Amino acid sequence: MAARLEAPRAGVRPVTVTAPARRAGLAWPRLPAAAELATIAAGYAGYSLVRLAIHAGRHAAFAHAALLWRTERRLHLTAEPCLNHLTAPHLVLAEAAGYYYGLLHFIVTPLVLAWLYLRRPAAFGRLRSALVLATAAANVAFWAWPAAPPRFSVPGMTDILVTRDILGAAHPHGATSLVNLYAAMPSLHVAWAIWCALAVVTAARGRWRHLAWLYPAATTLVVLASANHFLLDAAGGLATAGLGMLAASRPSQLLARRRARLASPGHRHACAPGPRPAPALGDGPPVTRTGPGQMGGARL
């Protein structure tokens, strides 16, 4: 950590400015494009290994799903059947939800990554690291605590992707053969959608950037309506994205900014007490004035 001394000006005291640390947290800097692509490929390979390992935990996945469903019923948070029964009978709603669930997850996230890499290189390292760390944490959860989705574990739920044959999901070698069927908790769809919104809000400069929050909101509705996730899975996705951002943050830089804000003149003036009123007659020390016929504050 380097420090420099600003040149003093007239009437200004020297100020020592401490440069923030180059790297903090678990983030790593922006790499060449080939290395970034290799990182993404390694992440998908890790997800595939977890998917293969979880096939043996089918019994545990259904037991965990039953626990999630019981917890939601006790908390009166059972929105999944209502949304699923509202969406499944209608062709347009069902196909829109199915294709949204099957495609946007793998389109929007790479587009946001590419935009960050090309247009916001200063923010890319931290945000990409947050995404990788959140995905790694989700993979650990999938392996340690597999959970079946509501379409498998809750009676009366309609599997929209299969009934509408979205992306060949009704076939043995369709889209469902490429995903982890027991990776419901946390919802990686929700985690990635929240990361996309956070990336846009923090890296973009336009005042419309907060509209990006509509994407995770719509994603949450879709994963519930398509019976692919419980509401608690969506909450787990939110927590996973938050942990990824926290792990990739720079606490030393945040602390330095906090100290600089506290030491700023505006903050000192805001916290300083107001001007003291003039002392009343007879209060405080006497005022000494010299003038004609006066000496030391006493009249001659």
pLDDT for the residue 223 = 96
pLDDT for the residue 169 = 77
Per-position pLDDT tens, the chain of length 300: 444 444 445 555 554 444 444 454 677 788 888 888 888 788 777 777 776 666 657 889 999 999 999 999 999 999 999 999 999 999 999 999 999 999 999 999 999 999 999 999 999 999 999 999 999 999 889 888 999 999 999 999 999 998 988 887 776 665 555 567 888 999 999 999 999 999 999 999 888 999 999 999 999 999 999 999 999 999 999 999 999 999 988 654 555 555 666 666 655 555 555 555 555 444 444 444 444 444 444 444
Q: Is residue 25 one of the residues assigned to a domain?
A: no
Q: CA-to-CA distance for 33 and 69, rounded, in angstroms? A: 43
Of 264, 80, 76, the C-alpha closest to 154 is 80
CA distances from 95 to 90, 92, 123, 165 (A): 8, 5, 36, 9
Alpha-carbon torsion, ordered 127, 130, 135, 138, to 10 deg: -150
Q: Is residue 294 one of the residues assigned to a domain?
A: no
- Whether residue 162 contacts residue 169, with contact meaning beta carbons closer than 8 Å, is answered with yes
- Could you tell me the residue range of the domain that residue 152 belongs to? 53-251
Q: Is residue 292 one of the residues assigned to a domain?
A: no
pLDDT for the residue 16 = 47
- 80 phi/psi in degrees, rounded to 5: -60, -50
Q: Is residue 286 one of the residues assigned to a domain?
A: no
Count structural domains, the chain: 1
pLDDT for the residue 260 = 63
Q: Is residue 257 one of the residues assigned to a domain?
A: no
pLDDT for the residue 21 = 42
Structure tokens at 160: 């929209």
Q: Is residue 284 one of the residues assigned to a domain?
A: no
Q: Is residue 242 one of the residues assigned to a domain?
A: yes
What pTM was computed for the model?
Answer: 0.74
Q: Is residue 271 one of the residues assigned to a domain?
A: no
Q: CA-to-CA distance for 52 and 58, rounded, in angstroms? A: 12
Q: CA-to-CA distance for 298 and 57, rounded, in angstroms? A: 98
pLDDT for the residue 172 = 64
- Whether residue 117 contacts residue 30, with contact meaning beta carbons closer than 8 Å, is answered with yes
